[in-house]
Amino acid sequence: MKESVARFWREIPQRYNIIGNKCTVCGRVFFPPRESCPYCRRKSLGKMQKIQLSGKGKIVTYTIIHSATEDFEDQVPYPIAIVELDEGPRITAQIVDCKPEDVKIDMRVESTFRKIRQDGSTGAIYYGYKFRPMR
């Protein structure tokens, strides 16, 4: 499936560098960044601050994908996990650099820069974060 290059381009700060934002009223951190804080609502307008997340966190839960979409068929079986970052937000990401059976709940992980997918052999290549066990 072909992805919109413009849509991907808009998300580069999040995909490459895990840049989220923080509500300076209540201190909650969001990823992906939000226009306003869902807790502080209008009080947070104009008070959301961009922050670079550490890319370190732990696995909350995971699953092993055996039947993947076309773009990921050549990688099965592979783990997908919900990772809780040290700053609070939870994100879904592929776990790499280990065997699927080595993935455990509560395992410490860190982000790594990988190729996520490409539009065939002639289209654009999309990069972004995946996570690996922390060493």
* Binding footprint of another protein on the chain (CB under 8 A): 12, 16-17, 52, 74-75, 96-97, 99, 112-116, 125, 127, 130, 135
Residue whose CB is less far from another protein, 31 or 36: 31
Least Å distance, CB 29 to another protein, is 18
Tell me the two tokens of residue 41: 């609502």
Q: Which is nearer to another protein, 34 or 117 (CB)?
A: 117
Q: In what order do the strands lie in the sheet with 125-133?
A: 90-94, 78-85, 56-65, 108-118, 125-133
H or E element: which one contains 14? helix 12-17
3-state secondary structure at position 88: coil
- In whole angstroms, the minimum distance from the beta carbon of 84 to another protein comes to 22
| Nearer residue to another protein within complex by CB, 27 or 123 | 123
CB of 73 to another protein, least distance (A): 11
Closest CA to 84 of 65, 107, 102: 107
